[in-house]
Every structure is written in C-alpha cells, then in structure tokens.
Structure 1
Amino acid sequence: MNRNYQMRLYMKDHLPLYLFVSVLFVMGVVFGALMVNALSPGQKEEMARHVNSFIQIVDQGNKFGGTAALWDSFALHLKWIGLIWVLGLSVIGLPLIFLLDFLKGVLIGFSVGYLVGQLSWKGMLFAFVSIAPQNLIVIPALVMCSVGACAFSLYIVKNRFMQKRGALYPTFVKYTSSTVVMTALLFGVALFEAYLSPVMIKWVTPMLVAAQIG
C-alpha cells in the first residue's frame, strides 16, 4: 500500500513532465506523418522497392525473426533507453532527452504515415500488426524513462546549485532501478518482435501482395 501511495505521489508530482513529454511525442508523430508528403518521387520509389521486397520475402515463406532479431531488437531498445539514462545524469542532457522523444515520435509517425498513404487500409492493417503492438509498451516505457531522467537532472540542479541539499545516492539508485525495470520490460518487447510479430505479419502479407506499392 505504501509503495502504491508513493507511486501515485510520484505521478502527481511529475504530472507536468509527463504531459510535456507526451505532447512532445505526439508532435513528433504528427510531424513524421507530414514528412511523408515532403518526399520526392524518387525517394518514394526507393522506399517502395524496399517495402515490396520485404513483402515478397515474407510471402515466399522465408523465415525472419528468431534469436538474431531478438538481440538486434533488444540492442536497439537498450541503446535508446541507455542514452536517455546517461543524459539524465547531467543538466545539459535535458534538451537532448526531449529531442530523442520527439525523434521517436517522428519515426513512428513517418512509418505509419507512409504505409497508410501508399496502401490505404491495407497499409493501416500492416502498421497495426507490425508497428502498433510493441509500441503500446515501448512508448510508455520511454516516456517513463524520460520523465525519470528529467526529474533526476532537475534534482541535481536543486541539490547542487540551489543549495537544497539532499541525499543524492538514494535518488540515483531509484532512478537507475526504474531504468532497469523498463529495460527488462523492453526485453519482453524484443521477444514479441522476434517471435510473435513475424507470425502476425505473415498473416496479413497475402492481402498486401495484391496491393503492392507501385
């Protein structure tokens, strides 16, 4: 009960940060979706070749995913979350944390926007099985890590520069522990991406073959 109370208190105290990071991410998604319209015909053609090639590979029954994909996916998540953790250790890292959140939104918005723009509802279906499921966990995890990093960075400012002395080590342990928990959660996401996501993608691929991007 005490832990639940502390969690609610933490969420309440850092609500402005949660709102700011979330809005920043949404802005990134919108910006990424709008970027699709800025692509030149040559760029769209090049991307179409890559997408069509992937669809053909899946449709032909070639295997993808598995152990190699697991570690590649987890390594990517680990680099992202690790960079946020490192940036949280310094005051100058704050704007870079916000930039990472915005860029994550841009990547997702661009990917979904391109698929939907080129394949209509079939692209939306493909995005639903290949992009949406894991990001339902990845996005909240990154938001929580970002808020924790920002909160710790601001705590350093108060502790060192505003003469509000406090115990830095316990706060650092809590900050690092929360990052470790999110890392474990993202390992679960990598498992999903490596073993379950390919199955879902193979399920919708036959519908995409008939509507390959021209």
Structure 2
Amino acid sequence: MNIIGKLNLNKKENKFFYLMVFIFFCVGIALGTYIVKYMNANDASDLTSYFSTFTESIVKEPVNSKVLLLNVLKKNLILITIIIALSFTIFGTPIILLVDLVKGFTLGYTFSFLISTFEGKGLWLALASTIPQNIIYIPCFIALSIVGIEFSSTKLKERFFNKGKVNTIVERELILKIGVFACVFIIGTFIEAYICPNIIKFVVTNVYKVV
C-alpha cells in the first residue's frame, strides 16, 4: 500500500480523532479572537506599546538568529515532548485535546490582536509573523496530536477493556510517525528563526515605513 493509501486508511479509521482535534483547535482560535475583541483597554494599550517597540527595534537592531533558533526550538520541544509523553499514558487523550485548544488560542489571539491593533496594516504584520512557520507547524501539530490520541486510546482500551492490544510492530510504527512529525517541526523552527524576521522587517520598513 502506498503512502497516500495508508493516509486515507488512517483517516477513515481515526476520523473521530481528526474531528475532535480539529474542533478543539478551531475553538481555541475562536476563543483567542473573542478575548482580543473584549480585551481590557489598559491591557490592549500595554500590548500595543510592546508591539510598537518591537516593530521599531527589529529595524534598528540585527536579529540574533542563533539565539532565536534556540528559543524557538526550546518552545517547540516542550510542546512536542508533552504530546509524546501523554501519548504513552492512558489518560493522554483529553489533555492532548486541551493542548490543541491552547495552541489554537495562541494562534487566534496573536493573529487577531495584530489585525485589530494595527488596523488594516496589521493584516500584513499578522501574515508575516504567523503564516510562514505555521504552514509547517499546524499540519504537523494536528497530525502529531492525532497519532498521540490514537496511541493513548489504544493503551486505554488495552488497560480497561482488553481491546486493541499494542503489539511491537504497531508501537514501532506509531513511534516512527511521532519521530517524523517531530523532525518536520524542526523545519518550521528554522523558518521562524531565519526567514520570518526578514519578512517582518520587510513589512515593517515598507508598509509601516519605520526607519
């Protein structure tokens, strides 16, 4: 069976997991957007000042990509480690879904805040700062969550219902999937550390005319 066939089969077998992850992720985005809409005026003012300072400093000072890469790697490794660790537990499914909710919330909050704070021009800053790396992050994050939930659910069935015993081959296959998605995440970290700052700098200097 080719890769496309395996993916289609996996989607059919785990369509409920796909649906749950998608719902929690989208609800998180909606909550993030809602919070921005009804944000306290003082909090909004503080964040606006922070981002204004950021847009000015990114032009005047060179970005230390190596330090940024380490910080981004650390942030993503924590997230990946949490999902992987939860996938090996019988209670991992609901917590992984909460992680999906939080991930969606941060994305929705950041995107919505940038748009609302900088009005029409905020769209370009929001796109530049969130889209490039998340083209990699989001599919991998969702896929990793589904694999983690699949593995955790199988262990739950094995523990309490004597069903779906995890044999060595299945376990190795799931671990391989987790490893592949974790490695692809690394591509996103390089994009976030080395490409995004340059795109943001271009937007700030050409759209906002900050010099």
User: TM-score over 0.5 for the alignment?
Assistant: yes
Please list every run of 5 or more consecutive structure 1 residues that lacks an aligned counterpart in the other structure. none
Please name the residue that 1:86 is paired with. 85
1:58 offset after TM fit, Å? Answer: 1.6
Amino acid at match of 1:35: I
Q: 2:154–2:164: 8 Å Cα contact kept in structure 1?
A: no
Match of 2:56 in 1: 56
Say whether residues 1:10 and 2:10 are aligned partners: yes
Q: Is the 8 A contact 1:65 1:198 kept in 2?
A: no
Question: What is the deviation of 1:173?
Answer: 1.8
Offset at 1:2?
A: 4.1
Distance (whole Å) between structure 1 residues aligned to residue 18 and residue 164 of structure 2: 25
Q: What displacement does 1:91 show?
A: 1.9
* Aligned residue in 1 for 2:36: 36
Contact 2:86 2:92 in 1 (8 A): yes
CA 1:48 to 1:165, structure 2 compared with 1: closer, same or farther past 3 Å?
closer
| Runs of 4+ deviating beyond 3 Å | 1-4, 165-168
Tell me how far 1:67 sits from its aligned partner.
1.2
Q: TM-score, normalised by structure 2?
A: 0.92
| Counterparts of 2:51 and 2:12, CA distance in 1 | 43
Matched AA of 2:47: M
In structure 1, C-alpha distance between the alignment counterparts of 2:113 and 2:132, rounded to whole Å: 18
What is the CA deviation profile of residues 96-120 of structure 1, one whole-angstrom value per residue up to 9, with x for unaligned ones?
1110000101101111111111112
Q: Residue in 1 aligned with 2:179?
A: 180
After TM superposition, the structure 1 = structure 2 runs for residues 64-83 of structure 1, keeping only pairs within 5 Å, are 64-83=63-82
The one-letter code matched in structure 1 to 2:188 is: V
**Pair 176,151 (structure 1): closer, same or farther in 2 beyond 3 Å:** same
Q: CA deviation at 1:85?
A: 0.9
**How far off its partner does 1:178 sit?**
1.1
User: Residues 33 and 165 of structure 1: is their aligned pair in 2 closer, same or farther, counting only changes over 3 Å?
Assistant: closer
**Aligned residues: percent identity?**
24
Q: Tell me what 1:148 maps to.
A: 147
- Structure of higher RCO (CA pairs closer than 8 Å, 6+ residues apart): 1
The alpha-carbon distance between structure 1 residues 33 and 48, as it changes in their structure 2 partners (threshold 3 A), is same
In structure 2, C-alpha distance between the alignment counterparts of 1:165 and 1:33, rounded to whole Å: 39
Corresponding letter in the other structure for 2:195: L
Q: Partner of 1:63: helix, strand, or coil?
A: coil
Question: What TM-score do the two structures reach when normalised by structure 1?
Answer: 0.91
Q: How does 1:112-151 map to 2 (within 5 A)?
A: 112-151=111-150
SS of the residue corresponding to residue 90 of structure 1 reads coil
SS where residue 208 of structure 2 aligns?
helix
| TM-aligned CA deviation for residue 160 of structure 1 | 2.7
Indicate the residue corresponding to 2:108 in structure 1.
Answer: 109
Shift of 1:158: 2.3
Q: Residue 39 of structure 1: SS of its match in structure 2? A: coil
- Looking at structure 2, the residues matched to 44 and 167 of structure 1 have their Cα atoms a distance apart, in angstroms, of 49
Residue 158 of structure 1 aligns with an amino acid whose one-letter code is: K
* Aligned pairs, number: 209
**Counterparts of 1:163-202 in structure 2 under 5 Å?**
163-164=162-163, 166-202=165-201
Match of 1:96 in 2: 95
Work out whether residues 152 and 171 of structure 1, in 8 Å CA contact, stay in contact via their aligned partners in 2: no
Give the stretch that moved more between structures: 7-16 or 188-197.
7-16
CA distance in 2, matches of 1:117, 1:12: 39
